[in-house]
Structure 1
Amino acid sequence: MEKIMLDLGFQKVADRQYSIATDQSFWNFTSAFGGWVAAVAIAAVKIDGEFRGEIITKQMQFMAPVKGEQINVTISLQARRSKIDFWRVTVSDTEEKMLVTADIVAGERSDTDLSYNAVAPKTDAADNYTPLEASMMTPSWFSSFEQYMVKGSPGSINNQPKSIVLLRTKQWSNLDSSVLAMICDTPMPRTFFASEKLRFASTISLATHIYGSDVQISDSGQDFMTVETNSAAIRNNTANQEVRIFRSDGLLLATSYQTSIFR
């Protein structure tokens, strides 16, 4: 079984039901960071006695912000095939109000003779670019990552809402699928790159697809990853965001797609 890199402090309440304290170090301005919630959902599945294989996909729906000091997490095994399992995770508050759902697919990977990999953007060394530093104006989770802006100018109208960031974690010596899922939610809202005014967005749907094996993810170590982000559409108060995460050697580890609403 893959080692869990995040110490989330699951407290078992009943069979496949847990209570977890929300971590203020992974907070947005008024609620929990969606990437942290994604990591919780994956970690909950991975500690189950029937978990097998590796995380392949995760599809989340955010029905309400995670704001309380405590959340409840329930998991269920929906279906099992010969090498693929389908899990459901629900996150609720202490009053049993549903906040988030996540459908997760895990399975056993195998090598094949067919292989294709999108080309990673070419970048120079990280210190050639502008650092994205944590401050009073950034959410608390920002402090967990070292980031450098390669392409894109937030707070201005770019030719397209695209950004390229070199990123590595400050807290973990290597990665697992839960941390990788968190990284997929680190890019700024695409609205930041389409307007001179900072137009904040709230995620309602977030899908993450992991193509790197557990070993390939772990082997990323402390190297910078390339986070390439773009948007296909920003209009009618909804925004699309598409993310690709490349390892330092150009191997594509994961992609992510989300839809958010903005004003």
Structure 2
Amino acid sequence: MTFVLDRGLVADRDADGLRRMQPDRAYWNNIGPFGGWTAAVLMKAMLEDARALAPEMQPVSQTVDYMTGLKDDPLLVATACDRAGRSTQFWTASLRAAGAPTAAVRSTAVFGTRRPTGGYAEQAMPEVPAADRVDRLDFPNDRIAWPASYDMRVVEGRLFGRADSTRSLTWIRDADRRPLDFVSLAALVDTCFPRPYYRIGGPTPFSTISMTSYFHATANDLAAVDDDFILVDASGKTAGRGFSDQHADFWSADGQLLAVSQQVAWYDLPE
């Protein structure tokens, strides 16, 4: 079976080593590709190239800067290794429309080898009902395609609900039950709806500016999740003067913290 995400990430290499691909309409947002899809494009490219140098490399972190919007034009993906050591690699990648003089999106990532060490956990997974006891979200905007690619079960946090808190708790997985890996996790970390949407009565212009994800799971941890739901615990600390923040934790159903993410976003809301 070819999953929806994988069909949308197919790319061909040209003579210059660039990956050429087409934006996937299944992951369309208001006016361009969903930011999680873009993050997955860049993660896949860097991960493939990192493992070509050292097969044991696994993602440790990824930062994605959304510098300008993308349309439906063909895309070019470029990657570069800034440093490759014995236990870590540092990569950069960029995404631009074919024919455009500059990149629209850029990413940096750290890859590393995982080894047994002592450790600790200072936070436990929130206690929530199991995913099969929560109704699936019916996203109200048909013009935005990407939510249909996910099975979302909202435990807490009503979109456009004028709540006193921006916190939301949501079970989520790929709608076609694609097994979880680092590429799909790179997309999932951007599935949290904008935090201002939980404090105001309707949508407002919004765009993620920069998002950083830290991956605490290994490839084996993600393989153990398989196609099960993961729990997303997201909240924002502040919004004002045109920018808002967000923090999110991503938990496996058995209580393992798989990843955390932080982002800053631009928004517009009259006083």
TM-score (norm: length of structure 1): 0.93
CA change 1:46–1:169 in 2 (3 A) is: same
Moved more, 152-161 or 100-109: 152-161
State which drifts further: 167-176 or 200-209: 167-176
Point out the structure with the larger strand share: 1
Is the CA contact (8 Å cut-off) linking 1:174 and 1:219 kept in structure 2?
A: no
Q: Match of 2:153? A: 148
Structure 1 gaps of 5+ residues are none
Which residues in structure 2 correspond to 1:1-263 (within 5 Å)? 6-7=6-7, 8-48=9-49, 49-50=52-53, 52=55, 53-96=57-100, 97-116=102-121, 118-134=123-139, 136-137=141-142, 139-263=144-268
Counterpart of 2:86, as a letter, is S
Shift of 1:201: 1.3
Contact 1:21 1:69 in 2 (8 A): yes
Taking the aligned partners of 2:158 and 2:28, their CA distance within structure 1 comes to: 24
In 2, the alpha carbon distance for the partners of 1:198 and 1:21 equals 28
Cα offset, 1:222, TM superposition: 2.2
Amino-acid identity (%)? 23
Report the alpha carbon displacement of residue 172 of structure 1 after superposing the two structures with TM: 4.0
1:29 offset after TM fit, Å? Answer: 1.8
Alpha-carbon displacement from aligned partner over 1:94-133 (angstroms, at most 9, x marks no partner): 1233100000111101111223252111111224334212
**CA separation of 1:84/1:15 partners in 2, compared to 1, >3 Å: closer, same or farther?**
farther
- Structure 1 residue 135: deviation in Å? 5.1
Segments of 4+ moved more than 4 angstroms: none
More moved, 147-156 vs 35-44: 147-156
Letter in 1 for 2:161: S
Unaligned runs of 5+ residues in structure 2 are none
Q: How many residues align?
A: 259
In the TM superposition, residue 134 of structure 1 has moved relative to its aligned partner by: 4.2
Does the Cα contact within 8 Å between 1:234 and 1:240 map onto a contact in 2? yes
Deviation digits for residues 146-200 of structure 1, max 9, x if unmatched?
1111111211222211100011212344111010011110011001111113224
TM-score (norm 2): 0.90
Output the CA distance in 1 between the equivalents of 2:143 and 2:170.
16
Q: Deviations over 1:179-230 (max 9, x none)?
A: 0011110011001111113224101101111000011012112222110000
CA contact (8 A) 2:73 2:98 kept: no
For residue 91 of structure 1, report the CA deviation from its aligned partner. 0.6
What letter matches 1:6 in structure 2?
D
Provide the alpha-carbon RMSD of the alignment: 1.6
Task: Please report how far the alpha carbon of residue 85 of structure 1 lies from its aligned counterpart in structure 2 after TM superposition.
Answer: 0.2
Moved more, 108-117 or 211-220: 108-117
Cα 1:184–1:235 shift into 2, 3 Å? same
